[in-house]
Amino acid sequence: MSLISGLTASINSVRPGRTSMPAFDVSVLAVTLAMLMFGLLMVYSASIALADGPRYASYGRYYFVVRHGVFIAVGLLVAFAAFSVPMKVWEKLAIPLFVVCLLLLLVVLVPGIGREVNGARRWLPLGPVNFQPSELMKVAICLFAASYTVRKQNYMRNFWRGFIPMAAALGVVGMLLLLEPDLGAFIVIVAIAVGLLFLGGLDGRLFSTLLGILVSLFVSLIWLSPWRRERIFAYLDPWNPDNMYGSAYQLSHSLIALGRGEWFGVGLGSSVEKLHYLPEAHTDFIVAVIGEELGFAGVLGLICAFAFLIWRAFDIGRQAIAMERVFNGLVAQGVGLWLGIQSFINIGVCVGLLPTKGLTLPLVSYGGSGIVMNVVAVALLLRIDYENRNLMRGKRT
């Protein structure tokens, strides 16, 4: 009896250790929620003065922060629903969702249906809000490229069966996005797809060919578009008086804001550039306001938060692939690519490393469709980690 009692005690002492692992990575959830709350605070700070100008005089001081809070709440609800769906179901939905997104990108170009703002037709009006199909396409391309790689695994070194179908799909997406036009979204979507193909085992020569074609395409688009070419030259010399008061106006004021912030900033809420000097301070150039108010330390903390999420996304993906959940692993890494590429472009633009491009900062900038889809992407990441942990416990999902 004493031997049995000893074994029982031993098992009971081990069991808590085996089952104490959280259902998913709590640190990813905590960092995501912290970034959402930080973004809400900075959107409030960056937008509160907009009501003093004629363009937003009828909006009220709390218009943008209230809407942003609502978008975050909606995003969390949609994310919970996305987390509840098993990844094997998402794998089945990958192609239908991609087709639906293509149709939405087509519908948004129809006059009278798509909403046009500043010459760009990117939004579908849905009552009091506007939906941007290109943001949903970022989620869809993560799922579609991962599904494609799994289905075509035996042909990833074949030009016609492994390379051409995805190149054609990206060509259609690119054509629709460039008609809007939305070159920034196209860059992110292509980078996600090409990155997943490379991670999935695409032949090195085919990858180099695809990369060369895309670079040539981007250079041609820039060179053949006078306004894009003007942005490039303005970016190279933002302090030229002709550029500073023209195409480089946003960049020059972003650099001024970052310069004023120095190491620790001028203080939360004390930004001068947000007082109608820096356009889009609450969306594309929110990093400039963060840098001015919180300094280099604030921007560095933000970069570290993104680095942590990207690292966890690739690590969770690696774990899934090691457990032969290749689709899950590639989706997780696709989320990491998405967050990494878009945050790099946004921050790079604000600090003058890259030409000005209209991309928001994930999880932080003001935006409806963007913030909702960012949270959904993190929910998919948490779902993959949840299934990884269940598999390690011996459970099937």
Closest CA to 261 of 248, 242, 243, 274: 274
**Domain hosting residue 367, numbered range:** 25-392
Residue 154 covered by a domain: yes
Residue 13 covered by a domain: no
Q: At 228, is the pLDDT very low, low, confident or very high (cuts 50, 70, 90)?
A: low
Residue 135 covered by a domain: yes
Q: pLDDT value at position 210?
A: 73
Between 252 and 379, the higher pLDDT residue: 379
Q: State whether residue 99 is helix, strand or coil.
A: helix
Residue 372 covered by a domain: yes
Please count the structural domains in the chain.
1
Between 259 and 159, the higher pLDDT residue: 259
pTM over cut 0.95: no
Closest CA to 31 of 215, 305, 339, 333: 305
- The mean per-residue pLDDT over the stretch 10-33 comes to 71
Of the listed ranges 100-114, 244-258, 378-392, the least confidently predicted one is: 244-258
Q: At 121, which helix (H) or strand (E)?
A: strand 120-126
Top mean-pLDDT range of 50-64, 153-167, 350-364 = 350-364
- The mean per-residue pLDDT over the stretch 299-307 comes to 97
What angle is formed at CA 361 by the lines to CA 233 and CA 294, rounded to 5 degrees? 95
Residue 302 covered by a domain: yes
The secondary structure of 37-91, three-state, reads HHHHHHHHHHHCCHHHCCCCCCCCCCHHHHHHHHHHHHHHHHHHHHHCCCHHHHH
Residue 18 covered by a domain: no
Residue 285 covered by a domain: yes
Q: Beta-carbon neighbour count of residue 346 at 10 Å?
A: 26
Residue 99 covered by a domain: yes
